[in-house]
Amino acid sequence: MRAWPDDDVILYDGVCVFCSRWIRFIAARDPDKRFRFTAIQSAYGTRLAQAFGIDPADPDTNAVIRGGVAYFKSDAALTVLSNLPGWRWTRVLLAVPKPLRNTVYNLVAKNRYRIFGKYDACFVPDADMRARVIE
């Protein structure tokens, strides 16, 4: 885990259908609009990815900056979920050993384009969500 100056920022693969749905899922369940989003394909997202050793051309993880700390893979997903109303129960999943959680995460991440599809370009959020996107 490394520090980053912005907080509550989620880095995601903007051409991944599954990843884009994940972002919409979060936005719909975040009434305080705490989380902001950046696609790895954006200038800001590329800088963020490179700062944390993620290859922007072949991302294998999403990331979230929370409390000034970067979380990756299953830690990122559970950190986001556990900070949403009604989803705090997901904190118990942090008790599952990280290697096991990340094995499942890696399996989905490796096959996400094949299973869920891929956009030709980053998905365009609606006007309400657009205000929460960092480019």
Tens-digit pLDDT profile for residues 30-52: 999 999 999 999 999 999 999 88
Domain count, the chain: 1
Mean pLDDT of 76-82: 96
Domain span at residue 39?
9-124
Tell me if 4 is assigned to some domain. no
Burial of 40 (0-12, 13-18, 19+ CB in 10 A): buried
Tell me if 79 is assigned to some domain. yes
Mean pLDDT of 65-94: 94
Tell me if 2 is assigned to some domain. no
Tell me if 132 is assigned to some domain. no
User: pLDDT band for position 3 (50/70/90)?
Assistant: low
- Residue 1 has what pLDDT? 46
Tell me if 66 is assigned to some domain. yes
Tell me if 3 is assigned to some domain. no
pLDDT of 4 > 70? The answer is no
Kind and range of the H or E run holding 87: none
Name the one residue in this structure whose structure tokens are 């990122």: 76
Residue type, 8: D
Tell me if 129 is assigned to some domain. no
Tell me if 41 is assigned to some domain. yes
The per-residue DSSP string of 30-61 comes to -TT---EEEETTSHHHHHHHHHTT--TTS---
